[in-house]
Amino acid sequence: MTENCLFCKIISGEIPSNRIYEDDAVYAFLDIHPASEGHTLVAPRKHFSRFVEMDAEDVARLFEAARKVTAAVEKAFSAEGSNIGVNNGEVAGQEVPHVHVHVIPRKKGDGGRGIKSIVWTEPDRTNLEEVAEKIRKAL
Ligand code: AMP
Ligand code: ZN
Residue 48 forms part of a structural domain:
yes
63: CB partners within 8 A, 6+ apart: 101
Atom 8 (ligand 1) nearest CA = 31
Our CA dihedral for 101, 18, 47, 61, rounded to 10 degrees, sits at -50
Q: In the predicted model, what is the mean pLDDT of residues 18-25?
A: 98
Range of the domain at 84: 6-138
CA of 130 from ligand 1 middle (Å) equals 37
Q: In whole angstroms, how far apart are CA 69 and each of 13, 35, 37, 88?
A: 20, 16, 14, 20
What distance in angstroms lies between residue 122's CA and the mean position of ligand 2's atoms? 35
**Residue type at 103 in one-letter notation:** V
> Could you list the active site residues?
100
Q: Is residue 44 part of a domain?
A: yes
pLDDT-derived band at 2 (thresholds 50, 70, 90) equals confident
Domain for residue 96, yes or no? yes
Task: Establish if 108 belongs to a structural domain.
Answer: yes
Residue 37 within any structural domain of the chain: yes
CATH code for position 61: 3.30.428.10
Q: Is 1 inside a domain boundary?
A: no
Q: Which tens digit of pLDDT belongs to each residue from 82-134? A: 999 999 999 999 999 999 999 999 999 999 999 999 998 888 889 999 999 99
In a domain, residue 129? The reply is: yes
Alpha carbons 14 and 111: distance in angstroms, whole number:
36
> Above 90 in pLDDT, residue 39?
yes
Ligand 1 pocket check for 90: Cβ under 6 Å: no
Cα of 47 from ligand 2 centre, angstroms? 4
> Does 100 reside within a domain?
yes
Cβ-contact 103, 82 below 8 angstroms: yes
Return the residue whose CA atom lies nearest to atom 12 of ligand 1: 33
SS3 at position 64: helix
Long-range contacts of 126-131 (CB under 8 A, 24+ apart): none
Q: Is the minimum distance from the CB of 94 to ligand 1 under 6 angstroms?
A: yes
- Give how many domains the chain has, as a whole number: 1
